[in-house]
């Protein structure tokens, strides 16, 4: 017993030493402009290593309502950051008043059933969930309807302390159409999801954190900085392995436990074919920071 306790104690010490050797994560938010020819969004690169892409929804007059033009620009920006090898993680944010107040009600008021089917309405909404790099939603203010669904398509949600999440489509005579009845239910459970979707009632940031919808609540004015810091921390690791890890966690939502465990085990095995796995473990043994090459 004493030996086992010793082994665990020494292992824990090694893990702590490894954590101490991790490169320090910058706390300062710094950004420089990238493409500014957007109508509905802004894009920047942020962080000391300029390795975090920031996309800001920028349609203040309509509380960032997600019109077709905005969703097209968002898809394009995501594809650009995805292709950019210098970017390790992406932060998606809005304004202090609204992350996004939903799909654009005025734009879709005249839609008919046949137009929705034949025009494949919402097809432009899938890019966020398809992006291979980690996406952090930094949510201040309203995240309603499609806005809440957009946040849930991201991998991690950080919430400002005044954030409000809700699925109010029911009050408009429709239902969530971009994951509100599915992703929300998987995250918060049937009873709470049912309550939110059937009443349209909003929940605040603290409750969202308690339910596991948001992983952290921070003062509104610190939200973007905290989200960028998180992106930078993720960026200290191998982008290649981060991508595999993201796929493995997402698989938990999409399959049975047995299938998920099998996928995880094989993906874990696959990391042994990478240079970064070798480097990570070698660096640990040699008591030095790892230099990942994403190979």
Ligand X SMILES: CCC/C=C/C(=O)SCCNC(=O)CCNC(=O)[C@H](O)C(C)(C)COP(=O)([O-])OP(=O)([O-])OC[C@H]1O[C@@H](n2cnc3c(N)ncnc32)[C@H](O)[C@@H]1OP(=O)([O-])[O-]
Nearer to ligand X, 59 or 229 (CB): 59
Among the listed residues 146, 147, 160, 166, the single catalytic one is 146
Is residue 146 part of the annotated active site? The answer reads yes
Nearer to ligand X, 26 or 122 (CB): 122
Is residue 163 part of the annotated active site? The answer reads no
Asked if 26 touches ligand X (CB under 6 A), the answer is: no
Residue 269 CB, shortest distance to ligand X, in Å, is 39
Asked if 104 touches ligand X (CB under 6 A), the answer is: yes
Asked if 231 touches ligand X (CB under 6 A), the answer is: no
DSSP 134-170: -EEEEE-SEEETHHHHHHHHSSEEEEETT-EEE-GGG
Cα distance between residue 275 and residue 295, in whole Å: 5
Restricting to residues 177-206, name those near ligand X by CB under 6 A: 177-178
Exactly one of 18, 25, 26, 122 binds ligand X (CB under 6 A); which one?
122
Cα torsion for 204, 209, 213, 217, to the nearest 10°? 80
Asked if 65 touches ligand X (CB under 6 A), the answer is: yes
Asked if 134 touches ligand X (CB under 6 A), the answer is: no
Nearer to ligand X, 104 or 226 (CB): 104
Nearer to ligand X, 55 or 87 (CB): 55
Partner residues linked to 76 by β-bridges: none
Cα distance between residue 146 and residue 211, in whole Å: 19
Asked if 172 touches ligand X (CB under 6 A), the answer is: yes
- Residue 44: its H or E element: strand 41-46
Asked if 176 touches ligand X (CB under 6 A), the answer is: yes
- Residue 89: its H or E element: strand 89-93
Cα distance between residue 274 and residue 295, in whole Å: 6
Residue 222 CB, shortest distance to ligand X, in Å, is 23
Whether the CB-CB separation of 168 and 102 falls below 8 Å is answered with yes
Cα distance between residue 62 and residue 44, in whole Å: 22
Please give the structure tokens belonging to residue 137: 């939603």
Whether the CB-CB separation of 151 and 135 falls below 8 Å is answered with no
Asked if 57 touches ligand X (CB under 6 A), the answer is: no
Exactly one of 44, 155, 169, 226 binds ligand X (CB under 6 A); which one?
169
What does the binding site for ligand X look like in residue numbers (CB under 6 A)? Answer: 62-63, 65, 101-106, 122, 142, 144-146, 168-169, 172, 176-178
Catalytic residue positions?
103, 146, 149, 169
């Amino acid at each position: 017993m004493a030996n086992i306790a010793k082994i665990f104690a020494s292992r824990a010490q090694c893990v702590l030493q490894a954590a101490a050797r991790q490169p320090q994560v910058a706390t300062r938010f710094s950004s420089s402009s990238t493409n500014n020819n957007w109508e509905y969004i802004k894009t920047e690169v942020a962080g000391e290593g300029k390795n975090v892409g920031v996309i800001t929804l920028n349609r203040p007059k309509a509380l960032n309502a997600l019109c077709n033009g905005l969703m097209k620009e968002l898809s394009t920006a995501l594809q650009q950051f995805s292709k950019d090898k210098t970017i390790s993680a992406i932060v998606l944010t809005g304004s202090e008043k609204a992350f996004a107040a939903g799909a654009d009600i005025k734009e879709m008021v005249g839609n008919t059933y046949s137009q929705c089917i034949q025009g494949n309405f919402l097809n432009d909404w899938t890019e966020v969930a398809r992006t291979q790099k980690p996406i952090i939603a930094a949510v201040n203010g309203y995240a309603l309807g499609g806005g809440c669904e957009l946040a849930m398509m991201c991998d991690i949600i950080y919430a400002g302390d005044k954030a409000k999440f809700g699925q109010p489509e029911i009050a408009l005579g429709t239902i969530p159409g971009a994951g509100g009845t599915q992703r929300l239910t998987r995250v918060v459970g049937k009873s709470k999801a049912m309550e939110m979707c059937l009443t349209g009632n909003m929940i605040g940031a603290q409750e969202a954190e308690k339910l596991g919808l948001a992983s952290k609540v921070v003062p509104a004015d610190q939200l973007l900085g905290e989200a960028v810091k998180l992106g930078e921390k993720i960026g200290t690791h191998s982008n290649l392995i981060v991508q595999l890890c993201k796929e493995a966690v997402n698989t938990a939502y999409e399959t049975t436990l047995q299938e998920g465990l099998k996928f995880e085990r094989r993906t874990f095995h696959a990391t042994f074919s990478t240079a970064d796995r070798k480097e990570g473990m070698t660096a640990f043994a040699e008591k030095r920071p790892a230099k990942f090459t994403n190979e």
